[in-house]
Amino acid sequence: MNDLASTAAPGRTVRGPAVRDALRRAAPALAAYAAIRLLGLVVLAVWSAANGKNWHTLLTARWDALWYTRVAEQGYGYSVQLANGDVHSNLAFFPLLPWLERGLAALLPLSAADAGMIVTWTASLGAAWALYATGERLYGQRAGVALAALWAALPVGIVQSMAYSESLFTALAAWAVYCVLTGRWVWAGVLASLAGLTRPVGAAVVAAVWITAAVTVWNERAGGVGLRAAFGGRHRGMLLGVLIAPLGWCGYFLWVGARQGSLLTGYLDVQGGWGNGFDGGIAFGSFIGDLLSGPAFAAGLGLLIGLALVIWLYVRGVRMGQPLPLLVYGGAVLLLALTAKGYFGSKPRLMLPAYPLLLPVAVGLARLRPARSCLVIGVVAVGSALYGAFWLNGSGPP
């Protein structure tokens, strides 16, 4: 089941009764996911009321949610110049979420902010379904339920309920990777393109499609199959999916570049104005080093342990024989998050879409007795709810 040939095997488009059957199987995972996120919202509401804050405002009208709402209402072109000369432009925010906010607000009596929250909540259920389907296909139903529940119970899981783009991106990315696993290449390309319109890390989904396709063709050629046969027959639609996959990401990247007057570096310049960019992890390493050498040694040590755990989970996934699309996607998300040079407090949020890292834990929980597995997830969910409420009422996700 885990080798590339089997995971890239062709699959038919799921319709009608098959969709209903798939949804029925996923119902326990969706129920667990919804219960965990509802717990997080209830704790947030109580905590916020005690602090004289509004939970709804924290979810829809703070930090990046404000920028997405402004794009939905006014379009691109807004920027803020800071005292140090840096320019924060809303061109840094990819367009799919604000497009959906604008469209839903036009159809229903909703503000763009509330439309964003509805999109996020709906997309988060779609992501949970995709995670369940992935876990079920590879390791069985219980692993699928555990994977969806664990993703809901991440320490920064409250972001999945905010008017942010992480839930929408994860839903599109996870279904795209699942389509690669099942050989639905055209759907994989379409979903990868949409993911590329959602967040810069959409490049990770494109990489999963391209590298898996390349390795599949290489293996076919090594087996004596010609290119025409490799792209047809068992892998019909592969070439089209490969061509479609980068259109969303490249389209927005180049559009911003053209608007900024530099086709290839325009978007990078916009990100630079926010203090973002990629330096191979040098700035992040220096940040950890400063913590370890100063009065915040305990925080630095905790961060170092967390980083080691994340890397261990990825290595564990490799040793478990996770399929290539999952390894490429998860590894790319992890690499992009850890090598970004700005907003160090955002790194847990940036790694939120890296759901393949949770598969080893999900498989371990699936091997426990159901009562023990539920107890572990329950304890983690309570911790996540408390941390999420504390976080949003404090510094929050930058």
Encoded tokens for 237: 């639609």
DSSP element (H, E) containing 63: none
What one-character DSSP code corresponds to residue 87?
E
Distance CA 179, CA 242 (A): 12
Encoded tokens for 398: 């930058």
Q: What percent of the chain has pLDDT over 90?
A: 80
> What is the model's pLDDT at position 345?
81
> What is the model's pLDDT at position 12?
46
Amino acid at 114: D
Structure confidence at residue 379 as a pLDDT band (50, 70, 90): very high
> What is the model's pLDDT at position 280?
86
β-bridge partners, 88: 80
Average pLDDT value for residue range 120-144: 98
Question: Is residue 341 pLDDT above 90, yes or no?
Answer: no
> What is the model's pLDDT at position 226?
63
Structure confidence at residue 350 as a pLDDT band (50, 70, 90): very high
DSSP element (H, E) containing 279: none
Distance CA 126, CA 354 (A): 16
DSSP element (H, E) containing 342: none
Question: Is residue 7 pLDDT above 80, yes or no?
Answer: no
Low-confidence winner among 71-80, 194-203, 289-298, 328-337 (lowest mean pLDDT): 289-298
> What is the model's pLDDT at position 3?
43
Distance CA 46, CA 54 (A): 10
Structure confidence at residue 232 as a pLDDT band (50, 70, 90): low
Distance CA 252, CA 328 (A): 23
Question: Is residue 202 pLDDT above 80, yes or no?
Answer: yes
Structure confidence at residue 234 as a pLDDT band (50, 70, 90): low
> What is the model's pLDDT at position 10?
45
Distance CA 189, CA 247 (A): 9
> What is the model's pLDDT at position 9?
44
> What is the model's pLDDT at position 270?
96
β-bridge partners, 81: 87
Low-confidence winner among 173-182, 279-288, 306-315 (lowest mean pLDDT): 279-288
Average pLDDT value for residue range 98-126: 97
DSSP element (H, E) containing 343: none
The three-state secondary structure class of 295 is coil
State the pTM of this model: 0.93
Low-confidence winner among 139-148, 216-225, 235-244 (lowest mean pLDDT): 216-225
- On whether the CB atoms of residues 236 and 226 are closer than 8 A, the answer is no
Average pLDDT value for residue range 266-276: 93
Tens digits of residue pLDDT in 37-93? 999 999 999 999 999 999 999 999 989 999 999 999 999 999 999 988 899 999 999
> What is the model's pLDDT at position 227?
61
> What is the model's pLDDT at position 5?
37
Instruction: Please state, rounded to an integer, the average pLDDT across all residues of the chain.
Output: 92
Region at 16 (left for phi over 0; alpha for psi -120 to 50; beta for the rest): left
> What is the model's pLDDT at position 233?
61
Structure confidence at residue 1 as a pLDDT band (50, 70, 90): very low
The three-state secondary structure class of 79 is strand
* DSSP secondary structure, 96-134, as one string: HHHHHHHHHHHHTT--HHHHHHHHHHHHHHHHHHHHHHH
Question: Is residue 225 pLDDT above 90, yes or no?
Answer: no
Question: Is residue 189 pLDDT above 80, yes or no?
Answer: yes
Question: Is residue 231 pLDDT above 80, yes or no?
Answer: no
Helical residues (DSSP H) of the chain, grouped into ranges? 4-7, 17-50, 55-60, 64-74, 96-107, 112-139, 141-152, 166-181, 185-196, 202-222, 227-231, 238-244, 247-260, 266-273, 282-292, 297-320, 324-339, 347-350, 359-366, 370-392
